[in-house]
Amino acid sequence: MSYADHAVPSRALHLWRYTPWARIHPSTVDEVPHADPVRWEVSEGGVLEEGAARTGGNTDIARAFLADANSDVRTLRCSPDATTVHVRAVASCLAHVGHLHILADGDATVVVHLSGEAAWAGLHITADVHHNVRFAYAMVNELSVNSKLLRCEDWTVGRDADVQHASLSMGGFRCKNDLRTRFTASGSRLTQAVSVHGRGERHVDHHVEIHHDVGHTDSSLTVHSACDDRSHAIATGLLTIAEHANHCDAGQVFKNLLLSEKARAEAIPELEVLADEVAAAHGAASAPLDPDQMHYLMSRGLDAQESAALIVEGFMHDGFSSLSNTDLMETLRTRLTVHLECELKR
């Protein structure tokens, strides 16, 4: 379906409740403006191919819009002996769109770094994780503070595969993330972690769907959001377990750290369980800075700003504690530390 075939979604829909389509569209909702392709760069160990087919359909308005705005597609292949493949996605003009299909047919670690000064950026990333593959992936959003971002991801996970999926969101003024994973065969596992740093009037919306269509599959979702100033973080999680998909173990936890009186955070975990023999759980919590922690740090010689920054860093690092891939965690923590140190100097 093309973008013109879709009706503008109502805010009553779960997906668009907190970030209406009109607010994330680069212009007016009745048009598809021209968008330049994202500039891709890949480190040693990975190869980008042009024109390859990608998985995932254009069944919703966001994916259809990205396809109509720019049909340029890249497929990433990882060398069998590669350690961590770094992919740089640069959006530097008025509007950019990028489509990347990750060919996950062997064990690999991939980190996508999104940066640039674009007023609006759109990304559609797809991946088909093959059977028995151990795959680790991270998206690091370091866009300009004035950018808008529409990001869609579609993942399918094959038999006995193990996927670690991480997101570190630090850039962009208004960001809409629609991340979906579907289990297609038994014996597979997904560990997903999201950390968000909100400052200024930044608005960050993560909508995460994990679908257990078959039994004997496990998933874990953790979202940590630290919100300062007048920022607003939203995290919605939809976890479904299909009928007869027994012996699944699934859970999701959302934690928000509110650093100012005007910061806002929404945490909406949802479970749809149609099978009987499963373990499914969810939880959410929001809290301000702990005064006891602040007192302890300040009694050691740190000022209030340094103490708060240290607590935020530990909180956001902890959002990735469920990951076991050391290369992935090292990259994420390094980028986060650099970002927070730069913010402290401003």
What are the tens digits of pLDDT across the range 286-343? Answer: 999 999 999 999 999 999 988 998 999 999 999 999 999 999 999 999 999 999 888 7
pLDDT at residue 161, as a whole number:
97
- Kindly tell me if the per-residue pLDDT of 171 is higher than 90: yes
pLDDT at residue 57, as a whole number:
57
pLDDT at residue 306, as a whole number:
87
Q: Can you state the angle between helices 291-299 and 304-318, rounded to 10 degrees?
A: 120
**To which H or E segment does residue 130 belong?**
none
- Kindly tell me if the per-residue pLDDT of 52 is higher than 70: no
What does DSSP assign to residue 113? E
Q: What is the arithmetic mean of pLDDT over 121-128? A: 96
Distances (CA, A) of 255 to 56, 133, 193, 287: 30, 30, 12, 8
Cβ atoms < 10 Å from Cβ of 14: 12
Q: Report percent pLDDT > 70 for the chain.
A: 98
Q: What is the arithmetic mean of pLDDT over 78-100? A: 91
Distance (Å, rounded) from C-alpha 322 to C-alpha 142? 23
Amino acid (one-letter) located at 247? H
- Kindly tell me if the per-residue pLDDT of 56 is higher than 80: no
- Residues paired with 194 in a beta bridge: 167, 223
Tell me how many degrees the CA angle 89-334-343 measures, rounded to the nearest 5.
85
To the nearest whole number, what is the mean pLDDT of the chain? Answer: 93
- Kindly tell me if the per-residue pLDDT of 260 is higher than 70: yes
Half-sphere exposure of 119 (CA within 13 A, CB side): 9
- Kindly tell me if the per-residue pLDDT of 54 is higher than 70: no
In total, the chain counts a number of residues equal to 346
pLDDT at residue 108, as a whole number:
94
Sequence-distant (≥ 6) Cβ neighbours of residue 63 within 8 angstroms: 56, 57, 124, 152, 154
Distance (Å, rounded) from C-alpha 23 to C-alpha 30? 13
pLDDT at residue 12, as a whole number:
87
What does DSSP assign to residue 26? S
Compute the radius of gyration of the chain from its Cα atoms. Answer: 20
Work out the pLDDT band at 86, boundaries 50, 70, 90: very high
Least confident range of 172-176, 206-210, 306-310: 306-310
pLDDT at residue 53, as a whole number:
57
Residue written as token pair 């956001």? 316
Work out the pLDDT band at 188, boundaries 50, 70, 90: very high
- Kindly tell me if the per-residue pLDDT of 50 is higher than 90: no
Half-sphere exposure of 107 (CA within 13 A, CB side): 7
Distance (Å, rounded) from C-alpha 134 to C-alpha 323? 13
**To which H or E segment does residue 335 belong?**
helix 326-345
36, exposed or middle or buried, with CB in 10 Å at 0-12, 13-18, 19+?
A: middle
Residue written as token pair 């530390």? 337
- Kindly tell me if the per-residue pLDDT of 146 is higher than 80: yes
Q: What is the arithmetic mean of pLDDT over 4-10? A: 91
- Kindly tell me if the per-residue pLDDT of 133 is higher than 90: yes
Domain ranges of the chain: 3-345
